[in-house]
Structure 1
Amino acid sequence: MACVASRPLLALALLLAVCGSDAGGCFTAIFSFGDSLADTGNAIRLGGLGGPTGSPPYGRTFFERPTGRFSDGRLIIDFIAQGLGLPLVQPFLGGGSIEEFRQGVNFAVAGATALDLSFFRSKGIQPSWTDRSLHVQIGLFKQLLPSICAGRDPKDVLNSSLILMGEIGGNDYNHPFFQGSKVEEIRPFVPSVIASIKSAINDLIEIGAKTLLVPGNFPIGCVPVYLDIHKSENVEDYESETGCIKWLNELSQYHNRLLQDELDQLRKLHPQVNIIYANYYDAMISFFRAPHIFGFKAPLHACCGSPGPYSVNRNAPCGHRNAKVCSDPSGSVSWDGIHLTEAAYGAIASSILEGPHASPSLTKVCSGTRQDAVYDF
């Protein structure tokens, strides 16, 4: 069983070794925006926003210490950087030097939304989360860009850079849900969320961005925290194939449809720009349809949490003194009930680097006419 559980990461290690050498020089930098799914250490430097990520057991798998990442190890952005032969992307607030920032900066902050806080106040929702929304992050990047460029034309710098646009937008639904809003109240937010993401992409293209990776939303109906909050005796509320909550996944699918429609429009407006949709939904839903392929034993349960139907208890979350940690995080999809394990992030990253959940895959963007190798994951 240990060999099965480790198969995705062993395959990914092979992919990183091969792609890291072949793709070296394809991109000179990664500039990242988003929320806790991409945050490599910004929130922890903004006070309480980092929650328990500055303490064990966070970071135990790869870094062997807490880093401010909301996982036991690496995130998708980390695997992508390694796969492209670049150093791990420095958090903007991490004290990196300008020289380090020339190879990448991460502006993602846990809890960040695509929409500004004024939107939520206008809907009667009082924000209790960070004000570093997507457009605030873009603004900080624009302020930093002249220093990174050091006299060069920003377009020359951005022409050879990869922009990772999130994931962003999930918290625009998470925060209201956790404050008690109903799906009927939240669903009308989706077009505004997508418009905000589209606006940010346009801003970046205008200053020279040439390759943007834009992830969709995860299937939130498969997230243990949501499964616990919305437990139902009605079997019709669940997908028979996965055990995930049907109506929550439908919200994610709606978000992703609108996002892809807008990306299609942007491609027509900017045919010289690579706008790549990262299909996080399909990449993750495959874990629940065929968990054995990935070595996941209890895909709907958190690895780090407290006793309960989905191993989560909001009164004793991961990092709480009463929380427990599973013996093998690589056998779990969810790390702490809302964020994923390194094993899950690694499997998703491999499907973005090499396919099939990004079209074109990042290695194909890098390789040009080179015939890419095919790996069995």
Structure 2
Amino acid sequence: MSLPRVACALLLTALASSQFVDGCYTSIFAFGDSLSDTGNYISLTSDGLLQYDGIPSCSVPPYGETFFHHPTGRCSDGRLIIDFIAEHFGLPLLPPYSGGERANLRGGVNFAVVGAPALTDDGANGSYSRENISMITQINRFKTLLPSICKNSSCEDIFGRALIVFGPFGGDDYASAILSKKVEEAHLLQPLVINAVASAIEELIELGAVNIMVPGMMPDGCIGVSLTVYYGSNEEDYDPNTGCLIWLNKFAQNHNELLQIELTRIQERHPNTFITYADYYNAGLELFLSPEKYGFNNGSLNACCGSGGPYNVDDNAKCGHPSSHACDDPSSYIQWDGAHLTQAAYQWIAKGLLSGLYTSPNITASCSTSARWI
């Protein structure tokens, strides 16, 4: 099924049967990896529940310098896409799950963790085990917190007006193989990841989820860490318009096509659920295609924070390392540390999603026009 047909099927099915609430969302519950983590990884590590295994914790300066003026666990210089979505709906920034029992859950909670895989089988995941932060573990934490979430109102009432942001998942499953130049292994993982994500969405629906936004993968062929690993590849491997790796962006596109097909099937099985596909890929690619149009005047492929190299990415001295340094103006860069984007880039992507240009169906289709724009 082609992408236009998938998008059309999602739109028609959802619009024909949606129970999407009148007005805007009153809470958000987020799941995912470093693109959405607002502090779970560093909390779990400091509490001894997670052994630090070399994943950048985003817990040291200059992370967070632009907006929060201190590290929060967000892998950027400031806010993430999930933060801008919350602000758009007039909700507080989502607190991380760790310590959630003590937090005010009125506006929702965030279960995303840096490095979280969709799969938990070591044989499928590579050489590491991250079961304590996996997609299924995040759902189990959600279940544990349900009595607190639904303490003063019925779960049905709460989830009828809640947005579930589920993902993206998959990038951390593929990363080990891709960065080790075992591309075929990564391709073999794609159907396993998609099936796992689909099963998890089905479980959330059974738990009462009504409005679910599922992001696809970013254009990973444009990310500095990937470009650094494959530096010196043949000229024909690079897109002449962006400098991104063509084959790796096609890999991300294939994941996204498989995901959309599965979302269409889930929507058909659950006509009372409103499922939105969030096109992180094209929302992000637009920035790499026209960086200066969006104010990114310092190139699109170099990281703002790093230690040198062709893309300012050095795996032995990542952003936050004593020998690294951050640029003077992160807002003029798309990439923050070679693996994650700057607050400015995330803000543009969020605007594209919230405008409806990169969500199918439009995430704000039934929201009141009084919602506050970012």
| Distance apart, 1:146 and its partner CA | 1.6
State how far apart, in whole Å, the 1-side matches of 2:73 and 2:125 are. 31
- AA partner of residue 35 (structure 1): D
CA shift for structure 1 position 67: 0.6
Match of 1:82 in 2: 87
Q: Name the aligned partner's letter for residue 41 of structure 1.
A: G
Contact kept, 8 Å, 2:59 with 2:73, in 1: the verdict is: yes
Q: Distance in 1 between matches of 2:61 and 2:257?
A: 38
Query: What is residue 54 of structure 1 aligned with on the other side?
Result: 59
Cα–Cα, structure 1 residues 330 and 41, in superposed 2: closer, same or farther, change >3 Å? same
Deviation at 1:214, TM superposition (A): 0.4
Using the alignment, how far apart are the partners of 2:364 and 2:124 within structure 1? 42
User: 1 CA distance for matches of 2:321 and 2:66?
Assistant: 19
CA distance in 1, matches of 2:336, 2:131: 22
Contact 1:24 1:84 in 2 (8 A): no
| Equivalent position SS for 2:149 | helix
- Indicate if the aligned counterparts of 1:306 and 1:324 stay in contact, CA closer than 8 A: yes
CA–CA separation in structure 1 for the residues paired with 2:227 and 2:115: 20
1:30 is paired with a residue whose SS is strand
CA contact (8 A) 2:222 2:243 kept: yes
Question: Matched residues in 2 for 1:130 and 1:206: separation?
Answer: 23
Q: Which moved more, 1:36-45 or 1:239-248?
A: 239-248
For residues 234-281 of structure 1, the C-alpha deviation after alignment (integer angstroms, 9 at most, x for no partner) is 111111111100111111011000000001111111122110000000
- Give the drift of 1:25: 6.2
Q: What is the aligned partner in structure 2 of residue 44 from structure 1?
A: 42
For 1:192 and 1:171, locate their aligned partners in 2 and report how far apart those are by CA, in whole Å.
13
- TM-score, normalising length: structure 1: 0.87
The one of 85, 101, 105 equivalent to 2:105 is: 101
Matches within 5 A, 1:256-335: 256-297=256-297, 298-335=299-336
In structure 2, what residue type is equivalent to 1:26? C
The residue correspondences of 1:166-185 to structure 2 (distance < 5 A) are 166-178=167-179, 180-185=180-185
Q: Could you tell me how far 1:129 is from its partner in structure 2?
A: 4.2
**Preserved contact between residue 39 and residue 108 of structure 1 (Cα < 8 Å):** yes
SS of alignment partner, residue 71 of structure 1: coil
Partner secondary structure for residue 352 of structure 1: helix
The whole-number CA distance in structure 1 between the counterparts of 2:223 and 2:236 is 18
8 A contact 2:63–2:76 mirrored in 1:
yes
Mapped contact 1:79–1:349 kept (Cα < 8 A) = yes
Aligned length, in residue pairs: 346
Aligned residue for 1:138?
A: 139
- Take 2:209 and 2:124, find their aligned partners in 1: how far apart are those partners? 33
Residue of structure 1 equivalent to 2:342:
341
Assess if the C-alpha contact under 8 Å between 2:354 and 2:363 holds in 1. yes
Residue 102 (structure 1) shift: 3.1
- Conserved 8 A contact 2:124-2:189: no
Look up the match of 2:231. Answer: 231
For 1:35, which of 33, 36, 52 is the aligned residue?
A: 33
2:24–2:371 CA contact under 8 A, matched in 1: no
Q: Report Cα offsets for 1:113-172 as digits up to 9, x if no partner.
A: 1111x2xx2348321546311111111101111221016432222111100001111111
CA contact (8 A) 2:78 2:343 kept: yes
SS in 1 for 2:346: helix
Structure 2 letter corresponding to 1:254: N
Alignment of 1:192-231 (within 5 A): 192-231=192-231
Q: Tell me by how many angstroms 1:95 deviates.
A: 5.0
Whole-Å separation in 2 of the counterparts to 1:58 and 1:124: 28
- Shift of the alpha carbon at 1:96? 5.7
Matched position secondary structure for 2:113: coil
Asked if the contact 1:115–1:134 (Cα under 8 Å) also holds between the matched residues in 2, the reply is yes
Structure 1: tracts of 5 or more residues without a match: 1-22
What is the distance in 2 between the residues matched to 1:207 and 1:106? 17
Amino acid at match of 1:212: I
TM-score (norm 2): 0.87
Q: Deviations over 1:182-229 (max 9, x none)?
A: 111110110110111111111111121111010000111100000011
Instruction: Tell me the equivalent position of 1:4.
Output: none
Structure 2 segments unaligned to the other structure (5+ residues)? 1-20, 46-51
Larger mean CA deviation between 357-366 and 253-262 belongs to: 357-366
Percent identity of the aligned residues? Answer: 48
Deviation of 1:176 after TM superposition, in Å, equals 2.8
Query: Which residue in the other structure is 1:188 paired with?
Result: 188
Q: Residue 361 of structure 1 corresponds to which residue in structure 2?
A: 362
Is the CA contact (8 Å cut-off) linking 2:32 and 2:169 kept in structure 1? yes
